[in-house]
């Protein structure tokens, strides 16, 4: 099944462009139009069990809805590069306090491990050792490289597959989607936009991700997603070009192109 959604749902600038003025519950409105969301706030702080359960209850009206969750940066960007034992300890805690709740309710999509740019070809053994300690048979883990050396690297993707983790296909000025390689049956795609100038300003997220995919670009992405979905159980596609409602607008259009009329996301704009 192909699921299309956005990276996050709580953006003030989505009011008017996506959320009607006065919408009392943003997630409920969002889940009425898409079948999945990627929680990226978990990168900055671990959500409480109370929050996780509230999110699950909120989307209960969409029985097909699934959450993907970004692993905290304190694990992927700090401990993983400094203290592997600490990284393993924190990851195990994240599994038990967050992932287990989503999984227990049948709404767990994937856990995203976004690597820092410093992890490239020369220092992958620590990552592989870390992955070997995770419950990859219980939870779907996917890895997004941010180092050019690993983009489209079939050897890297293959090693991840051996460890029962997936390779994230990312689209950005650094790496257009055509060069991606899934490396696992369950595929995961992140679309950051192609704002070449804005990408040079990493401290300004509104500028960096301010991009709206054209019809031609979405058509190419649609063709690519259809191709990688052949023979796969699940494909998750998330738009991270969030400024000014570009993400839900593009996600809706891609859903139409993919023929996803049977789920709520086909009724957006």
Q: What does the angle CA 84 – CA 88 – CA 94 come to, to the nearest 5 degrees?
A: 140
Q: For residue 145, what pLDDT is reported?
A: 95
Q: Give me the phi and psi of 9, to 5 degrees please.
A: -140, -10
pLDDT of the residue at 268: 36
What residues does 237 pair with on adjacent strands? 4, 189
β-partners of residue 36 are 66
- Classify residue 208 by burial, with Cβ atoms within 10 Å: 0-12, 13-18, 19+: buried
| Residue 153 CA: distances (Å) to CA of 1, 67, 121 | 25, 27, 10
Give the global pTM.
0.93
Give the list of residues 6+ apart from residue 56 with CB closer than 8 angstroms, or none.
Answer: 67, 101, 102, 105, 107
Burial class (CB in 10 A: 0-12, 13-18, 19+), 42: buried
The CA distances from residue 133 to 88, 208, 261, in Å, are 7, 34, 40
| Side-chain-facing half-sphere of 167: CA atoms under 13 Å | 23
Our count of domains for the chain comes to: 1
Q: Among 95, 141, 238, which residue's Cα sits nearest to residue 87?
A: 95
Per the structure block, which two tokens stand in for 198?
A: 């804005």
- Closest by CA to 6, choosing from 28, 25, 24, 33, is 33
- Specify the CATH number for the domain of residue 202: 3.20.20.410
Give the number of other Cβ atoms within 10 Å of residue 172's Cβ.
22
Among 151, 154, 158, smallest CA distance to 179 is for 151
Query: What pLDDT is recorded for position 198?
Result: 85
For the beta carbon of residue 197, count every other beta carbon within 10 angstroms.
9
Give pLDDT, residue 239: 98
Question: What's the CA gap between 43 and 76, in Å, rounded?
Answer: 9
Q: From CA 94, how far away is CA 75, in angstroms rounded?
A: 10
Q: Say if residues 164 and 186 touch (Cβ distance below 8 Å).
A: no
Splitting the chain (269 residues) into consecutive groups of 10 residues, what average pLDDT does each group show?
A: 96 94 95 96 96 97 95 96 95 98 98 95 94 96 94 91 94 80 65 90 81 96 90 88 96 96 46
CB contact set of 268 (below 8 Å; sequence gap of 6+): 33, 34, 248, 249, 251, 252, 255
Structure confidence at residue 261 (pLDDT):
63
pLDDT given at position 197:
85
Q: Which domain holds residue 256?
A: 2-267
């Amino acid at each position: 099944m192909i699921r299309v959604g956005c990276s996050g749902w709580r953006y003030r600038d989505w009011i008017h462009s996506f959320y009607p003025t006065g919408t009392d519950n943003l997630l409920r409105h969002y889940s009425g139009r898409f079948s999945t969301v990627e929680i990226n706030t978990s990168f900055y702080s671990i959500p409480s069990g109370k929050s996780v359960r509230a999110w699950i209850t909120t989307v209960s009206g969409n029985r097909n809805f699934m959450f993907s969750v970004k692993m905290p940066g304190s694990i992927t960007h700090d401990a993983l590069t400094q203290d592997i034992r600490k990284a393993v300890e924190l990851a195990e805690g994240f599994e038990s306090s967050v992932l287990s709740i989503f999984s227990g309710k049948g709404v767990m999509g994937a856990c995203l491990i976004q690597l820092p740019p410093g992890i490239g070809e020369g220092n992958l053994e620590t990552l592989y050792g870390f992955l070997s300690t995770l419950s990859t048979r219980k939870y779907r883990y996917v890895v997004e490289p941010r180092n050019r050396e690993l983009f489209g690297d079939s050897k890297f993707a293959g090693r991840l597959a051996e460890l029962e983790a997936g390779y994230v296909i990312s689209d950005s000025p650094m790496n257009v989607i055509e060069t991606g390689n899934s490396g696992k049956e369950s595929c995961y795609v992140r679309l950051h936009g192609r704002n070449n100038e804005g990408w040079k300003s990493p401290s300004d997220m509104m500028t960096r991700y301010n991009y709206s995919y054209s019809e031609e670009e979405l058509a190419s992405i649609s063709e690519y997603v259809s191709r990688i979905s052949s023979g796969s159980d699940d494909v998750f596609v998330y738009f991270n070009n969030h400024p000014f409602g570009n993400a839900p607008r593009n996600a809706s259009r891609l859903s139409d192109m993919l023929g996803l009329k049977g789920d709520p996301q086909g009724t957006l704009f």
